Structure 1
Amino acid sequence: MAHVRSGTNGKGVHPALKGVSTSMQTTEDGLVQWNQNYQVSASRQILPLPKEMIPPPPPLTSVKALCCHIPLRFLNSILAILTVVCNVAMNVTLPIYADAMIKAGGDVFDALVLAGVFFPVIFFAFLLASKLFCDRTQKLLPIGSFKVAILVGFLTAMNGVLVVFASPAERTPPYLQGILATTLVPFTVFFRYLVLRKGVSFQRLICTGVVLVGLFITIEPQVWDLEGSGSASGNGGDTGIGRVLWPMCFALGFVPAALLNVYIERQTKGEEAESFVFITWIQLFQAIFVVLCFWADFIPGFGTVESPALFFSKLKMALGCMFSSSDDCYGVAFKAWLFITSYCTANLFSLLLIQYAEGAIYAVIVQALVTPLATLFWTVFKPSPAFHWDPEFTTTTGFTLVGLMVISPAVVMYNYFSKKEEATPNDTIQHP
């Protein structure tokens, strides 16, 4: 242990340094631990060391996630790749799971409720396993108040409820869903500035705009009903006032999604943030709020069932299929667990990306890659009559590839400018 002591006569030494000793100790993890031992001066008063004279702690070289140590140098890239892969998996498995649930006699809201109940079970199981087998000091309760976890859980539930009920093609046309989903990016930029007072520099704002351009290129086939788009701009959608209200409901579903990303950034950027503990409690509160919204499924004109009795009948049938391999269940159990696994991992890596990368905006920028990649996935695979390999390259494939080529470099450059501005924070220009 290296030990440095201040001068004993006090001449030429800051008064607060008299009688102060500073020690530096290397721990078993290879990290440097600083300890300051304050001694009572001749006047028997404890003189604290000025902040500007306290040596900063050494920079972290790795981050521990449950039982794993991830090198900080590669962390952003690893988290970005895992976030994209898991979100693509979630995007792909959700319609497969929902379609099987409907064929089995349930509805989309049943799929949301039943999957939502399993999310906290899985996260708490991993959290307890981590405490028992990896780290006995692992905390089980979130740092600070439960208010933020409750708020984020509520926002997550509202995002799911609004989007699920507005997403059927007879309510919001598929071509509009692609356009409205892009509102997540500007909503996140706006609320991040409003809540955290954090803007983006001009360079990153340009990158964000380029990502939006790439997304619009990707969804152009759906807008104009081009070959391979699978939807027509003139088909689908409600009639009358519903033609306006349902797309508005779908777009409003991304307001809580943007807000929850911002609050996650504020919570996880703290020095003592426990990411896995935080997301575990979020999933619990999300499940509670989703279950409490069961009545929305039989609201006339909004829900998908006509009465509470029919709702509980469908829910009972759907619950039975979650644990059955019967042919009448159309593989709901297997498909549900595919979706649940991809959802849990996608949420975990997205949260870690917000915490260790630039923040909420970078997370939604990275997730913009999911749209073209998921489209390309369905270019080479077909879901019916059984999931199978069947490559089919059409005009839509060309638009998707162009959109991907526009978005990818914009994401890379956004991360580059973000790291550059971290080194020179005074040069950052704030924009609302």
Structure 2
Amino acid sequence: MSAIVVVGAQWGDEGKGKVIDFLSEQADMVVRHQGGSNAGHTVVVHDQEYKLHLIPSGILYPDTVCVIANGVVVDPKTLLDEMAYLRQRGVDTDRLKISAQAHVVMPYHARLDALNELRRGDQKLGTTLRGIGPAYMDKAARIGIRVGDLLHPAEFRERLERVLEEKNRLLSKAYDADPFTFEELYDTFLEYGEALRPYVTNTSIIINQAIDRGDRVLFEGAQGTMLDIDHGTYPYVTSSHPVAGGATIGAGVGPTKIHRVYGVAKAYTTRVGDGPFPTELRDALGDQIRQRGHEFGTTTGRPRRVGWLDTVVLRYAARVNGLSGLAVTRLDVLDGLPELQIASAYQYRGTLLDEFPESASVLAEATPVYETVPGWTEPIGQVRRLADLPAAARHYLDRLEALVGVPIVLVSVGRERSSTIPLEELF
């Protein structure tokens, strides 16, 4: 199997970075295909922690080519800072490739993001304020600036003049905010373009060539299924497609070239930002799991909302992504709990719901139907074989697998690379 997509099967923050890092050891190429610097991966290698936002975590392997494809929106300053951060820690970034067709996040995008959230008040979406939504809006409106534009001063000047006039009018008239100065943006982003020039290329060509050669190509999404703009808990979603289908559009490959899709899910559930969350724990137990799982956003530092495992969500993710297998992370966070709850369905006004509801208002009123299973007292962080897990932990995984209907192919019992238990050959 030469082309694999890894997706988040919940609301993001499932530990995709760790799973992708584990798979990257076997990969020739890792491709990031959507999202922007609103996403974050934390990877621990030999007790060294790396926090990445735009660059695929495969960069930590010296022979892996890493691609930022056309579906990503790129903040050039964030990207250049991340490259410098990696180089300072001895990581080679020369293997990075950036699509000329990827759209650029401009400073006016971040300002409009913040102003829009402020205007929404109690109805805010809980964005990261990084300008990701406004950048995708400009892409859809066909007024966006792409990475390749930064390499051509005359074309960039023409595009920036046109769009900045519109943005400054919007800022001053609608928000009573200060406008941006053309020359400052123009000069700064030309410098960014020159710094990125050695890395910019037609990434669709190199990805397809790699697959055709039989290279092992790993597609890395940001966020999670429930934040997909079409298939997530709209409007509390991101502005792109974290589902598996987004990989083909966001990387410029055909769907027939994808061989497997793996979903990543925590052994419990978390989400950042606002929106309905049926299994949320708003008590001391939720706080305990949050602290033990270090459940604070990589990008924002915001505390994540925590809840019991929700298999209604996971069945939905299995369907819309066509999951081949499930990677379960953070199982060790549940150590020591006397019993665990698994949501197998919802109740809504006296009706049992086995499938995830399309309506946000229905989801907001839905209450989970729980199965209670025994917990385990033994710490499992040092376990390296499935058979060595406590019987209750194996039962928990078996029940999860049965309720979701997708085989578990990997279990993670800690933050380090070594605390990963593959259950089959994944590549």
TM-score bin (small chain): under 0.3
Structure with the larger strand share: 2
Higher relative contact order (CA 8 A, sep 6+): 1
Structure with the larger helix share: 1
TM-score (norm 1): 0.24
TM-score (norm 2): 0.24
